[in-house]
Amino acid sequence: MDAYEEINDMYEQFFETTCPARTTVGVCELLGGAAVTVDGSIAIE
């Protein structure tokens, strides 16, 4: 969570219009020493 604000700024720059939904989870340590974890969702019409 220390880098939340920095990552949030990059997210907003990457998605110039409507930003997709996202999930933020604060944990002490991620598996394998990872810095981030990513999930995704899609809508099928």
- pTM comes to 0.48
- The pLDDT tens digits of the residues spanning 14-45 come to 887 887 778 777 778 888 888 877 787 778 88
Hey, where are the domains in the chain? Answer: 1-45
> What are residue 9's phi and psi, to 5 degrees?
-65, -45
pLDDT value at position 40? 79
Look at residues 17, 20, 18 and name the one whose alpha carbon lies nearest to residue 38.
20
Cβ-count burial of 34 within 10 angstroms (0-12 exposed, 13-18 middle, 19+ buried)?
Answer: exposed
> Running DSSP on this structure, what letter comes out for residue 8?
H
| Region for 26 from its dihedrals, namely left if φ exceeds 0, alpha if ψ lies in -120 to 50, beta otherwise | beta
